[in-house]
Amino acid sequence: MVNNLYMKNLAFLAVFILLSIFVSACDEQNDGKDVTLALDWFPNANHIGLYIAEDKGYFKEEGLNVEIRTPSDPSTILQTVASGTDDFGINYQPDLLIARDAGVPVVSILGMVQHPLNSIMTLKSSEYKSLSDLKNKKIGYPGIPWNEDALDTMLKTDGLTGIEDVELVNVGWELGTSLMSGKVDAVIGAYFTHESISLENEGYPVDIFRMENWGVPDYYELILVTSETYLEDNSETVQSITRAITKGYEDAIRDPQSGADILKKYSPDIDESIDRPGADLLQNLWVDPGVNFGNQTSEKWNNFGNWMKDNSIISDNLNIDEAYTEEFFLIK
């Protein structure tokens, strides 16, 4: 009798343990893998596809719990990704190359905005209708050193000697207000998908001189990055998040205004008068015709990287092709 009771209890315990393991496994599967993704700035139209992926469950479908973080200091994103504080981050091709040149082990895994948003702007009401008209004028910039090299190239392309022909004024991020107030005659470092809209909303429409049209090689404005270590240790997670993000941006490209509705849902403080028209402009910048979202090419990476080398922004011996991978670009 005692033996029978003992055996029954033992059997019950075994079943309980097996059920506990099964339930635990199911819970883990339902919970998904926690990952963090740091934005490059406050939520705006550039990030619509990320919030679509969250809202429509594309991350969940891939078994991921993605925490989209707004950075307290956007200048440290590559460092927080490299250290593992963040698993993924949104950043910029020029900044990633500069970081890798300094020994920061980060890699681009998706091209998210295919062309530069950074540009030179002048007021339409001004007399400056070409870059050569800016000779001896004041140019506001955000203090980012490589923007000086871009300005130099753009001025030379329009026949000036270069940056020595203008007066540079470090206005920080007060680019729009500096232009409106007349503190400067033009600005560089402003996004034509954001500042130009903001200025026009204030009654100051602008002329836009896009970098890639004035001698600076084309580059990826926004990229999705991770660390070399995370890429090596979590390739399946990297593939999963790129699939989910790609779905989100494909939806955004089809209907940017519905995407803006979702962005507003998650970030109620956005300025819709800027982000809605910004989304429409980005629709044709998130992807090039005939190419799927996320595309990165050796030609674009190396053309821009070589320009950076020629201007001594990065070292001549930096291997540009190690800065990105096409492994997770989804070819359909």
Residue 153 has pLDDT above 80, yes or no: yes
For 43-54, write each residue's pLDDT tens digit. Answer: 999 999 999 999
For 272-287, write each residue's pLDDT tens digit. Answer: 999 999 999 999 999 9
Among the three residues 178, 213, 248, which one is the final residue of a domain in this structure? 213
**If you average pLDDT over every residue of the chain, what do you get?**
92
Residues 128 and 105 in one domain: no
Residue 8 lies in a domain: no
Phi, psi of 192 (to 5 degrees): -75, -10
Residues 237 and 312 in one domain: yes
CATH code of the domain covering residue 251:
3.40.190.10
Residues 72 and 189 in one domain: no
**Can you read off the two tokens belonging to residue 67?**
């925490």
Residue 147 lies in a domain: yes
State the number of CA atoms in the 13 A half-sphere of 97 facing the CB. Answer: 27
Torsion of CA 118, 120, 123, 126, to 10 degrees: 180
Residue 188 lies in a domain: yes
CA distance 267 to 223: 21
Which residue, chain included where needed, has tokens 């927080």? Answer: 80
Residues 209 and 298 in one domain: no
Which residue, chain included where needed, has tokens 């339902």? Answer: 30
Among the three residues 188, 213, 238, which one is the final residue of a domain in this structure? 213
Residue 3 lies in a domain: no
Residues 44 and 98 in one domain: yes
Residues 228 and 108 in one domain: yes
**Enclosing H/E stretch for 47:** none
For 96-140, write each residue's pLDDT tens digit. Answer: 999 999 999 999 999 999 999 999 999 999 999 999 999 999 999
Residues 189 and 256 in one domain: no
> How does residue 31 score in pLDDT terms, banded at 50, 70 and 90?
confident
Residue 13's pLDDT is 35
Among the three residues 213, 248, 266, which one is the final residue of a domain in this structure? 213
Residue 246 has pLDDT above 80, yes or no: yes
DSSP 238-306: HHHHHHHHHHHHHHHHH-HHHHHHHHHHH-TTS-HHHHHHHHHHHTTTSS-TTS-TB---HHHHHHHHH
Residue 330's pLDDT is 65
What total of structural domains would you count in the chain?
Answer: 2
| Separation in Å, CA 77 to CA 131, 194, 217 | 33, 21, 24
| Host domain of residue 224 | 32-115+220-323
Q: State the average pLDDT over residues 224-240.
A: 97
